[in-house]
């Protein structure tokens, strides 16, 4: 039975996915020698993910805005996360990152490149929700779109060379970029996912703005893969990790509109979804090229809304080209900040 443009059970299984996941802290293979970035890793899903990767031997960089919170998270992880199977745990490091300021994003990327020569997985996890309408980033971008998408687009662009370099020596399709989406991709987004023509003059519907940022993460993941994936060897995957806490501002036209807060499950289960997206062997470049969208626990979405699938395809492919147009808009916003110099630009 269709619901909000997708099957009813597809929606139901994202709200109530159960707790069975193919990859957990107990089944993850050793990550020794691999390097990870987790944005927003000092709390929630990012914290749980960082803890699992550290326990498995990974070298984990937490990129976040508030130093005190990151320091506290690292101390907590190091005290509580025992090593896996008797192996030595990994390494935890932090770099300051403020996604509302593209200058900070650029500096964070450059700081990472100063410290490391490889990057296996970039988790674009950090995000905001329910920010008052009219709030803008330092570069005058609507806040949800600016923080959740544009900041991460710049971070990925600056780190793409090291990701690509890592992919040359890593196993096929194992170097990845993970983008965070939401159940509101289905339930809260406008037709086509993102109204590109209004991005520079956004409206006041907070629910639509947030949902657009989540759809936008999927769009850019698909578009970057289509444009650069075969050349770089970097797989980009977007999906809903599982809404353990979500602010629902609206559903679809004709349904009740009011804010309420859902607390569904422990954030560690969202981290399990990220593990599948980042590490599962069944996730391939071909999947990313086709625009597949991941969902809770570790599985592919059985079928997104038709208008969103059309948006992923160009007009010459019978689609609407909205994903491409959105990526081009994001690219125009990050272009002044892509210089490798620390001065000038943004």
Active site residue ranges: 210, 214
**What six digits make up the tokens of 193?**
């996912």
φ, ψ dihedrals at 27, nearest 5°: -115, -5
Question: Cα-flanking dihedrals φ and ψ of residue 306, to 5°?
Answer: -60, -40
Paired tokens of 221:
């993941």
Angstrom distance (rounded) from CA 159 to CA 309: 28
- The 3-class SS string of the chain reads CEECCEEHHHHHHHHCCCCCCCCCCCCCCCCCCCEEEEECCCCHHHHHHHHHHHHCCCEEEEEECCHHHHHHHHHHHHHHCCCCCCCCCCEEEEEECCCCCHHHHHHHHHHHHHHCCCCCEEEECCCCCCCCCCCECCCCCEHHHHHHHHHHHHHHHHHHHHHHHHHHHCCCCCCEEEEECCCHHHHCCECCECCHHHCCCCCCCHHHHHHHHHHHHHHHHHHHHHHHHHHHCCEEEEECCCCCEEEECCCCCCCCCCCEEEECCCCHHHHHHHHHHHHCCCCCHHHHHCCCEEECCCEECCCCCHHHHHHHCCHHHCCCCHHHHHHHHHHHHHHHHCCCCCCCCC
């Amino acid at each position: 039975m269709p619901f909000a443009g997708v099957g009813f059970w597809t929606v139901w299984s994202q709200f109530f996915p159960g707790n069975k996941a193919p990859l957990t802290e107990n089944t993850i293979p050793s990550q020794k020698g691999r390097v990870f970035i987790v944005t927003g890793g000092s709390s929630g899903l990012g914290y749980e993910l960082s803890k699992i990767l550290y326990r498995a031997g990974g070298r984990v960089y937490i990129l976040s805005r508030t130093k005190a919170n990151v320091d506290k998270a690292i101390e907590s992880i190091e005290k509580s996360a025992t090593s896996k199977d008797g192996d030595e745990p990994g390494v935890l490091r932090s770099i300051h990152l403020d996604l509302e300021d593209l200058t900070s994003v650029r500096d964070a990327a450059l700081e990472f490149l100063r410290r490391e020569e490889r990057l296996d997985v970039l988790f674009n996890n950090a995000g905001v929700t329910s920010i008052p309408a009219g709030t803008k980033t330092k570069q005058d971008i609507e806040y949800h779109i600016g923080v959740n998408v544009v900041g991460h687009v710049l971070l990925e662009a600056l780190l793409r060379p090291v990701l690509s370099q890592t992919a040359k020596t890593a196993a096929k399709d194992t170097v990845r970029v993970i983008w965070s989406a939401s159940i509101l991709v289905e339930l809260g987004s406008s037709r086509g996912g993102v109204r590109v023509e209004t991005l520079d003059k956004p409206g006041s519907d907070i629910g639509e703005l947030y949902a657009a940022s989540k759809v936008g993460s999927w769009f850019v993941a698909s578009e970057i893969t289509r444009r650069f994936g075969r050349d770089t060897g970097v797989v980009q995957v977007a999906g809903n990790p599982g809404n353990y806490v979500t602010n629902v501002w609206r559903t679809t036209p004709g349904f009740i509109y009011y804010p309420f807060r859902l607390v569904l499950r422990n954030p560690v289960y969202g981290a399990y979804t990220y593990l599948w997206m980042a590490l599962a062997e069944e996730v391939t470049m071909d999947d990313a090229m086709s625009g597949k969208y991941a969902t809770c626990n570790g599985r592919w979405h059985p079928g997104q809304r038709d208008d969103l699938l059309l948006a992923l395809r160009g007009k010459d492919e019978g689609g609407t080209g909205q994903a491409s147009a959105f990526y081009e808009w994001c690219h125009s916003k990050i272009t002044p900040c892509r210089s490798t110099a620390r001065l000038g630009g943004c």
